[in-house]
Amino acid sequence: MIELRNEVIPFIQQVSEKNDFFGILAALQPKDDYTYRHNVAVGILSTLLGKWLKLKPEELGMLTIAATLHDIGKIMIPSEILTKAGPLDEEEMALMRKHTTYGYELIRDTVGTNHQQALVALQHHERMDGSGYPFGVLGHRITDFSKIVAVTDIFHAMTSERFYRPAAPLYEVLRQMEDNAFGKLDPYICSVFINKLMQSMLGNDVELTDGRIGKIILILAHDPLRPLVNIEEDFIDLSRHRDLGIVRVIPQ
């Protein structure tokens, strides 16, 4: 915890000050140790989301630590399961899911942490409709910190290259998250994340599903996931062209 507080957390807070969402995201995508990189990424993204949700500074500091440690229980999971190049079987999945309870116990028993942070390790795979794990609790029993980390955890996991699958296209990830916001994810927290993320795209070049590169010039209030894009002399309203979507954002 001393090393985390002195070295890792100040780095995460410094990076999150830049508010360069897609530059940050691009820097967190190299194909190295996903398990390690994912924890740092979720720490950074949760800190940004906490700011967007206007958390108090002391709450934000606690959230940063909780988010960075959310998957700490995976140190108790065999590496051959963490790095398996295919889907886990039923027995392997049951063991993998134990990382939530292992993480809770590790954080709970560590000096310098608090129960709220331990609960994030326990609950970040719980879902609002009770479909999550380890206990399948409903939304009113999930802490706000856990709901925040659930959103950033899903976003980074789905937009990252994994041992067993490629990264999903950005537009597909956001669409799925928006669809899930009224069942599995907290709708308010998820909508703040998506809206702020889309606003941060203004002025960025993006690649569309047909391979063309254009610049986002307007986020549409009625359909924020499908903005107005300028490609040379053309202006393409993605809300009117449902066959097109954004594959990736090109950092400035």
Domain ranges across the chain: 2-200, 202-252
3-state secondary structure of 229: strand
The DSSP output letter for 73 is G
Higher pLDDT, 239 or 168: 239
Q: Mean pLDDT across the stretch 59-77? A: 96
Task: Give 148-206 pLDDT, tens digit per residue.
Answer: 999 999 999 888 877 667 788 777 888 889 887 768 999 999 989 998 888 888 898 99
Kind of pairing between the strands at 205-208 and 234-237: unpaired
**Residue 155 neighbours by CB distance under 10 Å:** 24
Closest CA to 70 of 37, 41, 110, 103: 103
Q: How far is the C-alpha of 215 from the C-alpha of 117, rounded, in Å?
A: 40
Residues 2-200, CATH architecture? Orthogonal Bundle (1.10)
Mean pLDDT over the full length of the chain: 89
Q: How far is the C-alpha of 22 from the C-alpha of 85, rounded, in Å?
A: 28
State the pTM of this model.
Answer: 0.88
pLDDT > 60? residue 30: no
**Residue 92 neighbours by CB distance under 10 Å:** 15
